[in-house]
Amino acid sequence: MRKFLVFLFLSSFPIFLVGSLMSGETQSSEGTVGIATCKACHPKYYESYAASIHSKKAIPDSPANKDGCESCHGPGAAHLEKMGSGGAGIFIFSKKLADAEQKSARCLSCHSETPRINFWDMGRHRAAGISCDNCHTVHSGTPKNLKARQPDLCFICHLSIRAQQNKQSHHPIKEGKVKCTDCHDSHGGFGTKMIAANSANELCYKCHAEKRGPFFWEHPPVEENCLTCHAPHGSNHSKLLIDKPPKLCQACHDAAGHPGTPYTSFETFRGSATGSKNRMFARGCLNCHSNIHGSMGPSTRGQTFVR
């Protein structure tokens, strides 16, 4: 396996080299009418363009250094000939007149060289028919030309995630302290669910470095995937858990003694049970097994995560 991967890695370089000799795409300026002509009929659009990053001549490849409005909308001569009605003869970023692929292609003709956008083809957004203009507006001076701030922008489509982050246990997303893009590559990448890491744990450890270990005693499902027990977008149960201890823990740990005991209303503070209540009330199993993410305790107590 290792030899195969080394071969694959080494063989990719000649492909890169050959590819680098291939020329990039070029744009034709034939049929353009100039930005002044556009401005004469569309002063408001011009103003918003002028306020945007696209109007900056200091950026070598910006539309301001190409054909202005026609860099994105295409040559305007035919548009003029058709008296400009309803976007005739020109490309406009409308749901009615262009599909997502066409619209994104316009943007990518310049932005495909932007490193973080380079993997757009791999992302779920493209596959779902999302185009750049779903999130960005070309005519704006907003940060990153976004149509709205996170997370509201993402919640326009991700209704289910909005509902989850409203739950009582959640990351501080709606409080503005964690952004969707802190965890996800909205422009596409290699991670599952477009996460900005090679594994879920690698992502979580960026903020939760204390869980990184390596620990003397490990809890294998924890080490393999944080999402085994946690729902990162929000949960009805504390600590973003998918279920409450002791039930969650018992789903894997059924053994003689307390792991298999049914903890019911009788084991709560108000219950009349004469034993085993401290495995149920308050934080349940975590009352004692608080080092559940890993322990450095060398004895059996570390092995059971109680030290």
Peptide bond just before 232 cis, omega within 30 deg: no
Question: In this structure, what token pair is assigned to residue 139?
Answer: 């005519």
According to the binding rule CB under 8 A, does residue 27 interact with other proteins? no
Q: Alpha-carbon distance 226 to 217, whole Å?
A: 16
Among positions 211-230, residues that touch other proteins (CB under 8 A) are 211-218, 220-221, 223-225, 228
In angstroms, what is the minimal distance from the CB of 177 to other proteins?
Answer: 5
**What DSSP letter does each residue of 95-110 carry, written as one string?**
TTT--HHHHHHHHHHH
For other proteins, the closer CB: 8 or 36? 8
Q: Which stretch binds other proteins (CB under 8 A): 33-41, 70-78, 81-89, 172-180?
A: 172-180
Among 85, 77, 50, residue whose Cα is nearest residue 64: 50
For other proteins, the closer CB: 81 or 260? 260
According to the binding rule CB under 8 A, does residue 266 interact with other proteins? yes
Q: Which stretch binds other proteins (CB under 8 A): 41-49, 69-77, 80-88, 249-257?
A: 249-257
Q: Which of the 8 DSSP states describes residue 15?
A: H
Q: Which stretch binds other proteins (CB under 8 A): 35-43, 51-59, 73-81, 84-92?
A: 51-59
Query: Phi and psi (nearest 5°) for 136?
Result: -110, 150
The gap between the terminal CA atoms of the chain, to the nearest Å, is 40
Peptide bond just before 151 cis, omega within 30 deg: yes
> Which one of 22, 30, 36, 44 is in contact with other proteins (CB under 8 A)?
22
Among positions 275-304, residues that touch other proteins (CB under 8 A) are 275-284, 286-291, 293-304
In angstroms, what is the minimal distance from the CB of 67 to other proteins?
Answer: 18
Question: In this structure, what token pair is assigned to residue 270?
Answer: 């108000």
For other proteins, the closer CB: 50 or 80? 50
